[in-house]
């Protein structure tokens, strides 16, 4: 699958939660999953005043709540620098297992620090890693919870010829092996993020990571070249806001005013497009190939219109073709098929928007 939908994949795996009684998702992992500060106080280099500057780094677990409503509570216990071993030794796992209950979900992702053999304070042997993952799963099951294993997201590494270099070694297969043995869901985030990074290449993958030029962000006055998928998750965060605007307008028009579902979907899509453009150009894509803002918006909109056609086609297929067969009649009424189509079309269009805008509009000049 395509890396850009890592958060949406997890969202779809747990989508049923948002429609029932409140559910809880516990998360354990390292810095790639952890919550980070939204703002940090820095000293302005010119005035000398202390100012609040937005902090650009985000863990993917920090952004996951934006894809759920109040029926789902995200409890993120992930911490920077933790391996599966140190997470247990520091008592963090005990906090989780003491609080987790029947029908809660547990998302597990370790590997970055476990595999760091040169960092003795966090390194975990392959045998310990397997034992720890098995213990997480079995203890969660014993309390009636539902564990999900995620492999680690990639590090951004290319050789001198521009070929992507694998990382994490055997730990990826160890995580997959535990999931298979325990017969629980596994999301291969490594392969999904690898496909994204290797597809973009060395230079074009940099904007997806915390690569900052000197002076670009006051939290990193000398710049930064951290290779994690932070900036990609920014796009997922923006996509979450755009999705809320999109679906909100759709439901209001279709349910409240009884508008034609295809027309309502088109208007809702344009509302989401406007939110996406404003947030994307402000927070994510800053190096446009098009200097004229009006031309930039037109190009952005053209990509969006193509996405709109995809969106309308998927909605039409579900609302007109599948609804007639009513193959899902046991779980949904015929007049609600368009909502299932909306969720699926959102994922497809999300991938189209990201790649098209990244490659054709905001890629390297």
Give start and end residues of each alpha helix (H) in 205-260.
230-251
Whether pLDDT at 239 is above 50: yes
Reduced to 3 states (helix: H, G, I; strand: E, B; else coil), residue 2 is coil
Distance in angstroms (rounded) separating the CA atoms of residues 271 and 242? 8
**pLDDT given for residue 338 in this prediction:** 79
Find the helix or strand (DSSP H, E) in which 186 lies: strand 186-187
Reduced to 3 states (helix: H, G, I; strand: E, B; else coil), residue 107 is strand
According to DSSP, the residues that pair with 307 across neighbouring strands are none
- Band (pLDDT 50/70/90 cuts) for residue 355 is confident
Distance in angstroms (rounded) separating the CA atoms of residues 330 and 327? 8
Half-sphere exposure of 93 (CA within 13 A, CB side): 21
Catalogue all structural domains in the chain, each as residue range(s) with its CATH number: 3-228 (3.40.50.1110), 234-361 (no CATH)
Q: Which of 63, 76, 94 lies closest to 27 in space, CA to CA?
A: 76
Burial class (CB in 10 A: 0-12, 13-18, 19+), 262: middle
CB-CB contact of 103 with 23 (8 Å): yes
Q: Which of 139, 38, 44, 150 lies closest to 95 in space, CA to CA?
A: 139
> pLDDT tens-digit profile of 299-345?
888 998 898 899 888 888 888 888 777 776 666 777 777 788 888 88
Q: Which of 118, 59, 66, 108 lies closest to 88 in space, CA to CA?
A: 108
Q: Which of 186, 191, 111 lies closest to 152 in space, CA to CA?
A: 111
Q: Which of 318, 314, 316, 322 lies closest to 351 in space, CA to CA?
A: 314
**pLDDT given for residue 228 in this prediction:** 45
Q: Which of 23, 129, 37 lies closest to 82 in space, CA to CA?
A: 129
Whether pLDDT at 226 is above 60: no
Percent of the chain with pLDDT over 90: 30
**pLDDT given for residue 233 in this prediction:** 66
- Backbone phi and psi for residue 39, each to the nearest 5 degrees, phi listed first: -135, 155
> pLDDT tens-digit profile of 63-76?
888 888 888 999 99
Percent of the chain with pLDDT over 70: 79
Distance in angstroms (rounded) separating the CA atoms of residues 342 and 329? 18
304 in the Ramachandran plot: left (φ > 0), alpha (ψ -120 to 50) or beta?
Answer: alpha
Give start and end residues of each alpha helix (H) in the chain.
6-13, 60-63, 84-89, 92-99, 126-142, 171-182, 189-204, 230-251, 261-283, 293-316, 323-325, 337-356
Check residues 188 and 217 and name the one with the higher pLDDT: 188
Reduced to 3 states (helix: H, G, I; strand: E, B; else coil), residue 20 is coil
Distance in angstroms (rounded) separating the CA atoms of residues 311 and 304? 10
């Amino acid at each position: 699958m395509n890396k850009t939908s890592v958060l949406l994949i997890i969202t779809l795996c747990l989508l049923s939660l948002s429609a029932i009684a409140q559910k809880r998702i516990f998360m354990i992992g390292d810095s790639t999953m952890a919550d980070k500060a939204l703002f940090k106080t820095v000293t302005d280099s010119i005035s000398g005043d202390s100012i609040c500057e937005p902090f650009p780094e985000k863990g993917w677990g920090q952004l996951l709540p934006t894809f759920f409503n109040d029926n789902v509570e995200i409890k993120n216990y992930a911490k920077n620098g933790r391996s599966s071993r140190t997470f247990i030794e520091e008592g963090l796992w005990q906090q989780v297992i003491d609080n987790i209950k029947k029908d809660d979900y547990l998302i597990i992702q370790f590997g970055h620090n476990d595999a760091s053999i040169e960092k003795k304070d966090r390194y975990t042997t392959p045998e310990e890693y397997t034992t720890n993952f098995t213990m997480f799963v079995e203890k969660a099951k014993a309390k009636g919870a539902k564990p999900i294993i995620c492999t680690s997201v990639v590090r951004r590494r290319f050789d001198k010829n521009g070929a992507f270099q694998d990382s994490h070694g055997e730990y990826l297969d160890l995580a997959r092996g535990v999931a298979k043995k325990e017969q629980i869901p596994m999301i291969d985030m490594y392969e999904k993020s690898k496909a994204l990074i290797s597809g973009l290449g060395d230079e074009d993958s940099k904007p997806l990571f915390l690569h900052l030029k000197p002076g670009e962000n006051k939290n990193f006055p000398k710049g930064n070249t951290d290779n994690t998928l932070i900036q990609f998750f920014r796009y997922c965060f923006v996509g979450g806001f755009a999705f809320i605007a999109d679906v909100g307008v759709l439901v209001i028009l279709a349910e409240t005013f009884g508008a034609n579902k295809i027309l309502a979907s088109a208007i809702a899509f344009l509302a989401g497009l406007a939110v996406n453009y404003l947030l994307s150009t402000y927070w994510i894509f800053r190096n446009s190939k098009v200097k004229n803002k009006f031309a930039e918006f037109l190009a952005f909109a053209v990509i969006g219109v193509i996405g709109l056609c995809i969106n309308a086609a998927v909605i039409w297929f579900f609302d007109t073709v599948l609804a007639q067969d009513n193959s899902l009649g046991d779980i949904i009424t015929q007049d609600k098929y368009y909502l299932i189509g909306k969720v699926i079309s959102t994922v497809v269009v999300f991938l189209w928007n990201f790649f098209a805008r990244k490659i054709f509009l905001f890629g390297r000049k």
